[in-house]
Amino acid sequence: MDIENLGLTKENWEYFLKWVWDFVPSLLSAIVIFFIGIWVINLFSKGLRKFFQKRDYDETLERFLYDLINLGLKVLLIILVITQLGVQTSSLVAILGAAGLAVGLALQGSLANFAGGVLILFFKPFKIGDFIEAQGTSGTVKEITIFTTKLNTFGNQLVIIPNGKLSNDNITNYSAENKRRNKIDIGISYSSNIKQAKDILLELVNEQEAVIKDPLPEVVVSSLGDSSVSLSIRYWASNEDFWAIHFYTMEQAKKRLEENGISIPFPQREVRILSTTANEIK
């Protein structure tokens, strides 16, 4: 190879070869450190997962700590590899500081999601397995990661919500308490016997063993509408039995009221036509 044709002097070429000769061992060492580090991190991650499985820790905390530790170890490995390539520690700190500022400005949303994940982990408004409603959707919490929370909806769709939005908005946790109170409104006509209707509905609720009897269920007149008297059935039930009782009560309430001659009216309008004579029109 004619180095003069490449625009290099003999001294420059010798300097380049010397630099390559000095750099190759550092490059090979960095590659070896990288692959060994990845192997060690994977081995440590498996051990950490087994450790969590043997301990009765909160599943949300386990997954969050696992992701955080795994990410932290990979960042440390990258720093170690860069240092091995000959980058000075002081220069690396300056580069990381400048890069951190730039990345921080570019990824404000991601940092907010990370902070939201920490707040969710700390205050525990919900945990994996809870049924919640937030950000216009509802479902069972499937997974809580560093940046997002995953919900499995009633229709078996996966909804991914950023933790930043989730931690700064209203959350309804239907699984937070062991029991829930239900309210079913049923309208009857004004001509129907209110006491008879209340007795029928109260008997319907009390005969169901899954309904909690302390406090006792009740049926009250909740409102007087335009075309019906609204009766409100109120009772307590466990989360496991809530919907089964709800659907059964709705179906049987209509059936039993109609069997006893109590009608459930629909909205009605009375229209009156006023007749006029030809003289009145003129």
Number of domains in the chain: 3
Percent of the chain with pLDDT over 90: 39
Distances (CA, A) of 182 to 130, 133, 200, 243, 246: 19, 17, 18, 10, 8
Q: How confident is the model at residue 105 (pLDDT cuts 50, 70, 90)?
A: very low
Q: Does some domain include residue 230?
A: yes
Q: Does some domain include residue 268?
A: no
Output the pLDDT for position 47. 82
> Averaged over 25-37, what is the pLDDT?
81
**Structural domain boundaries, residue 232:** 179-259
Question: Is 202 found in the same domain as 169?
Answer: no
> Averaged over 147-156, what is the pLDDT?
92
Question: Is 24 found in the same domain as 59?
Answer: yes
Output the pLDDT for position 108. 54
Q: Does some domain include residue 278?
A: no
Distances (CA, A) of 26 to 15, 89, 128: 17, 15, 46
| Helices 108-123, 89-106: inter-axial angle, 10-degree rounding | 90
Output the pLDDT for position 100. 59
Q: Does some domain include residue 119?
A: no
Output the pLDDT for position 275. 65
Question: Is 221 found in the same domain as 159?
Answer: no
Question: Is 167 found in the same domain as 100?
Answer: no
- The CATH number of the domain holding residue 19 is 1.10.287.1260
Q: Within 10 A of 128 (CB to CB), how many other CB atoms are there?
A: 17
SS3 of residue 226 by DSSP: coil
Q: Within 10 A of 101 (CB to CB), how many other CB atoms are there?
A: 10
> Which range among 9-18, 139-148, 158-167, 246-255 has the greatest average pLDDT?
246-255
Output the pLDDT for position 158. 95
Q: Does some domain include residue 3?
A: no
Q: Which of 123, 121, 142, 119 shows the shortest CA–CA distance to 131? A: 142
Q: Does some domain include residue 275?
A: no
Residue given tokens 């400005």 in the structure block: 105
HSE toward the beta carbon, residue 88, CA cutoff 13 A: 3
| Distance between CA atoms of residues 146 and 67, nearest Å | 7
Output the pLDDT for position 172. 93
| Distance between CA atoms of residues 212 and 179, nearest Å | 9
Edge-to-edge strand ranges of the sheet holding 148-152 = 158-162, 148-152, 137-144, 131-134, 172-173
pTM, entire model:
0.60
Question: Is 209 found in the same domain as 164?
Answer: no
Question: Is 158 found in the same domain as 187?
Answer: no
- The CATH number of the domain holding residue 148 is 2.30.30.60
Residue 50 has pLDDT above 70, yes or no: yes
Question: Is 241 found in the same domain as 207?
Answer: yes
- Tell me the pLDDT of the chain averaged across its residues: 81
Question: Which range is least confidently modeled, 36-45, 104-113, 233-242?
Answer: 104-113
Output the pLDDT for position 92. 57
Q: Does some domain include residue 116?
A: no
> Averaged over 120-128, what is the pLDDT?
85
Output the pLDDT for position 192. 92
- The CATH number of the domain holding residue 188 is 3.30.70.100
Contacts of 175 (CB under 8 A, 6+ apart): 126, 129, 130, 131, 132, 239
Output the pLDDT for position 282. 53
Question: Is 128 found in the same domain as 97?
Answer: no
Question: Which range is least confidently modeled, 39-48, 57-66, 182-191?
Answer: 57-66
Output the pLDDT for position 239. 92
Question: Is 66 found in the same domain as 25?
Answer: yes
* DSSP track, 10-24: HHHHHHHHHHHHHHH
| Distance between CA atoms of residues 139 and 159, nearest Å | 8
Output the pLDDT for position 79. 77
Question: Is 136 found in the same domain as 100?
Answer: no
Residue given tokens 């087994």 in the structure block: 50
Output the pLDDT for position 115. 82
Q: Does some domain include residue 273?
A: no
| Helices 194-206, 242-259: inter-axial angle, 10-degree rounding | 140
Question: Is 90 found in the same domain as 14?
Answer: yes
Maximum distance among all Cα pairs of the chain, rounded to whole angstroms: 122
Residues in the chain: 282
> Averaged over 214-222, what is the pLDDT?
94
Question: Is 78 found in the same domain as 40?
Answer: yes
- Report yes or no: 222 and 201 within 8 Å, Cβ to Cβ: no
Q: Which of 67, 30, 245 shows the shortest CA–CA distance to 144? A: 67
Instruction: Identify which has the larger pLDDT, 24 or 215.
Output: 215
